[in-house]
């Protein structure tokens, strides 16, 4: 082989090696830009820990982990499962960087039957994770808005006094703790032995008695006393410190700007807030992954945006759009266009003469659609499916309970192509009206459950019914009463719209689907 050929091969090998090095450098920088270095996801002496006490919490855990990663946190993420989760769930969580650990459920010594109290004590396992130097336990209903890794440096044990708590109690939903086997053992037996109580029969009240005692070696019996000792600079047995409320800001306290849309910048929370806590003070069932609560809690849209990046969500949204939006619309079009060929006049129809049956149609259709749509479906897709599917169903039910046109106006064998158009149009018109009033409070900046925006029902300076509600019940409960009355008002408007459409059809189109003669009562002939 000549020198020239050897020189060319050497040059080629050099170029190829340089290309490999450059490609590796670019790929490494891409990984660094996209997230955490691979080795940092499985090592380190600090960890985020959360608890999933049932399959209904898995979506919340996934969203929490996605938010932490998007904000640049590279710390270990551990999820405790205190129920028999299926292998698919565990593999899904593991694929999203969660360290899945199955633990036994720690029973509540105060109330082991309540849906919340019987599972909350399982978070105590975080105190026994001695393989970590420091642990930040965070409930899965939190949504970090900023990187909160700096909270690990607060002290040996830290928690925040959120706006939800009274008497300067801390909220146990977010705790920075130093794992301690002896403390864990004391917490396991402190309740059953009667050493500590719990004002709410859950781990929240229990820790508010046990932790101050541990922090001060018996000198303090409440977190308020611990805060006073910290302010006075007194020495304690352990370095227990309060966290700023920025780490535990109750989502319900957020305000809304008028013309609220789906952009998080229109949710007004203080700039310093680092994490939102979706822990409703009245109803624990109100969570952001349940789409039915979005009219009551518009701040849930902040959580919704964080959910969008979860793997598999795009495909699920596409499937439900096809089933809940496109299919009902296509079915409506087929019924209207091909009504004569479908021989609708031969279909059995029940004549309903009582006007109160139409409200039953609306309520029944609502309950049916709520049962059909998954509770954890993407909120925007779920709302679209709800209005479309319910519009089709309401129109269909209107057709079967309204009866035929007047016998004097019906010729034997006459095709009734216009009649399906009326009930289809009536159904969708009702849902367009409902959709408008669904968005109207948020457009106007009205928040049914906010501490600040429910002014008509939470003000002691006005009189009449609002004043009576304010004095009779809590502000939040009054807000839900207002929401119920608002829903009834919308149903009444829908019924009026159906009557208006029928009046227009009978006056200008010379037929009616609501008025029925006595001789036509019963089965459609």
**Cβ partners under 8 Å of residue 353, min gap 6:** 516, 521
Confidence of residue 445 (pLDDT cuts 50, 70, 90): low
Q: What is the H or E stretch that residue 429 is in?
A: helix 418-443
What pLDDT was estimated at residue 25?
43
Residue 79 near residue 61 (C-beta atoms within 8 A): yes
Amino acid 328: pLDDT: 93
Lowest mean pLDDT among 115-119, 464-468, 515-519: 515-519
Domain boundaries, the chain: 46-249, 313-404+417-508
Q: How far apart are CA 368 and CA 396, in angstroms?
A: 13
Per-residue pLDDT averaged across 315-344, rounded?
A: 83
Q: Could you read off the pLDDT of 339-392 as tens digits, one per residue? A: 655 555 555 544 444 455 678 888 889 999 999 999 999 999 999 999 999 999
* CATH class (in words) of the domain with range 46-249: alpha beta
Half-sphere exposure of 81 (CA within 13 A, CB side): 20
User: What are the residues whose beta carbons fall under 8 Å from the beta carbon of 170, sequence distance 6 or more?
Assistant: 159, 160, 161, 162, 207, 208, 211, 223, 242
Share of the chain above pLDDT 70, in %: 69
Q: What is the mean pLDDT of residues 124-150?
A: 95
Q: Which residue has the tokens 């006459």?
A: 414
Provide the pLDDT for residue 509: 58
Supply the pLDDT for residue 487: 82
- Per the CB < 8 A criterion, the answer to whether 513 and 403 are in contact is yes
Most confidently predicted of 322-331, 416-425, 490-499: 322-331
Predicted local confidence at residue 354, as pLDDT: 47
In degrees and rounded to multiples of 5, residue 253 shows phi and psi of: -80, 0
Residue 453, pLDDT > 60, answer: no
Cα distances (angstroms) measured from residue 365 to each of 356, 393, 394, 436: 15, 6, 6, 18
**Where residue 419 falls among pLDDT bands split at 50, 70, 90?**
low
pLDDT for the residue numbered 215: 96
The pTM for the full model equals 0.79
Average pLDDT, the chain: 77
* Residue whose C-alpha is closest to residue 141's, from 309, 280, 293: 280
Which ranges constitute the DSSP H helices of 254-378? 300-307, 313-321, 327-337, 357-372
Report residue 88's pLDDT band, with 50, 70 and 90 as the boundaries. Answer: very high
Predicted local confidence at residue 348, as pLDDT = 52
Per-residue pLDDT, averaged over 432-453, amounts to 69
Q: Environment class of residue 315 by beta-carbon count within 10 Å: exposed (0-12), middle (13-18) or buried (19+)?
A: exposed
pLDDT category at 451 given cuts 50, 70, 90 is very low
Q: Which residues contact 214 (CB under 8 A, 6 or more apart)?
A: 157, 183, 186, 237, 238
515 exposure class (CB count in 10 Å sphere: 0-12, 13-18, 19+):
middle
Which strand ranges, in their side-by-side order, compose the sheet holding 142-144? 142-144, 275-277, 249-250
Average pLDDT for residues 222-233, to the nearest whole number? 92
Token match 């009274």: residue? Answer: 166
């Amino acid at each position: 082989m000549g020198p020239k050929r050897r020189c060319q091969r050497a040059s080629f090998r050099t170029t190829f090696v340089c290309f490999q090095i450059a490609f590796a450098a670019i790929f490494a920088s891409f990984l660094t830009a996209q997230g955490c270095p691979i080795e940092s996801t499985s090592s380190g002496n600090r960890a985020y820990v959360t608890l999933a006490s049932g399959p209904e919490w898995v979506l919340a855990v996934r969203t929490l982990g996605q938010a932490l990663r998007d904000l640049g946190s590279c710390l270990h993420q551990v999820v405790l499962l205190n129920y028999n989760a299926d292998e698919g769930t565990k593999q899904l969580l593991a694929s999203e960087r969660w360290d899945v650990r199955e633990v036994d459920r720690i029973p509540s010594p105060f109330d082991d039957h309540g849906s919340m109290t019987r599972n909350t004590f399982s978070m105590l396992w975080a105190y026994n994770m001695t393989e970590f130097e420091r642990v930040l336990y965070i409930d899965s209903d939190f949504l970090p808005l900023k990187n909160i890794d700096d909270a690990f440096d607060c002290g040996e044990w830290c928690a925040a006094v959120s706006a939800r708590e009274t008497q300067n109690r801390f909220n146990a939903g977010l705790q920075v703790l130093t794992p301690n086997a002896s403390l864990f053992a004391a917490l396991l037996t402190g309740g059953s032995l009667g050493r500590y109580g719990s004002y709410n029969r859950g781990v929240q009240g229990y820790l508010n008695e046990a932790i101050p005692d541990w922090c001060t070696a018996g000198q303090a019996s409440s977190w308020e006393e611990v805060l006073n000792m910290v302010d006075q600079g007194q020495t304690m047995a352990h370095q227990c410190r309060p966290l700023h409320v920025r780490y535990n800001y109750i989502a319900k306290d957020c305000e809304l700007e008028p013309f609220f849309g789906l952009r998080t910048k229109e949710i007004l929370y203080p700039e310093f807030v680092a994490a939102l806590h979706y822990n409703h003070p009245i109803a624990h069932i109100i969570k952001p992954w349940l789409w039915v609560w979005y009219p009551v809690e518009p701040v849930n849209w902040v959580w919704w945006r964080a959910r969008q990046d979860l793997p598999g969500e795009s495909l699920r949204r596409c499937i439900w759009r096809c089933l809940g939006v496109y299919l009902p619309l296509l079915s409506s079009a087929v019924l209207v266009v091909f009504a004569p060929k479908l021989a609708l006049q031969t279909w059995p129809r029940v004549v309903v003469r009582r006007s109160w049956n139409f409200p039953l149609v609306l309520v029944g259709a609502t309950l049916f659609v709520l049962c059909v749509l998954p509770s954890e479906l993407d909120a925007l897709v779920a709302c679209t499916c709800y209005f479309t599917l319910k519009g089709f169903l309401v129109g269909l039910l209107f057709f079967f309970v309204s009866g035929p046109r007047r016998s004097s106006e019906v010729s034997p064998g006459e095709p009734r192509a216009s009649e399906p158009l009326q009930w289809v149009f009536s159904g969708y018109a009702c849902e367009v009206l409902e959709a408008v009033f669904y968005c109207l409070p948020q457009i106007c900046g009205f928040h049914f459950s906010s501490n600040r925006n429910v002014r008509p029902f939470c003000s002691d300076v006005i009189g009449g019914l609002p004043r009576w509600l304010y004095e009779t019940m809590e502000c939040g409960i009054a807000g839900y009463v207002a929401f119920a009355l608002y829903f009834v008002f919308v149903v009444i408007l829908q019924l009026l719209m159906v009557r208006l459409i029928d009046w227009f059809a009978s006056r200008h189109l010379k037929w009616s689907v609501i008025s029925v003669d006595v001789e036509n009562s019963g089965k459609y002939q």
